[in-house]
Amino acid sequence: MKAPGSSTRTFVLFPLAVLAFEYFRGFDVVWWLAPLLAWGFLQYELVGRYRKRIGGGGPGMQIPPARLVTAGPYAWCRNPMYLGHLIFLLGLTLMFQSALALVLLVFSTAWFHIRIRRDEKRLRELFGADYEAYAARVKRWIPFLF
């Protein structure tokens, strides 16, 4: 049986686990933080559509892009789809004040960082100097920071 993809984990399995865990613990929901969930999911979804339309390829690097995408959201962050996952998980953590969601956020941050290192290696192989110039110009995670 194939393991669920990262989007299924982030946007379906992790929230269900947090809801179940917090339900039995008893929880208060901080509703005004719900927009973080929407922001994270929409960033993942809309940037993914953009990337596929401009660069081709499939989700993640299973089907690599035919063209290097450096415009739009990719002009600000090299990994805006992965960042969308983390924004969603941050929203889940804060909205439910959940220790489990915090653990999942930390785990996912580490997992995506490892995955990004693998993706970057493949992109260097595919696009060479163009990718090197792009990576030197655009931060991996947060614009202007890191």
Q: Where are the domains of the chain?
A: 7-56+65-137
Which pLDDT value is given to residue 25? 85
Which pLDDT value is given to residue 143? 83
Burial class (CB in 10 A: 0-12, 13-18, 19+), 78: buried
What's this model's pTM, rounded to 2 decimal places? 0.93
Which pLDDT value is given to residue 1? 66
Burial class (CB in 10 A: 0-12, 13-18, 19+), 126: middle
Tokens 């299924």, residue located:
8
Give average pLDDT by consecutive 10-residue segment, the chain, 146 residues: 84 96 88 97 96 86 89 96 97 96 98 95 96 97 83
Which pLDDT value is given to residue 145? 80
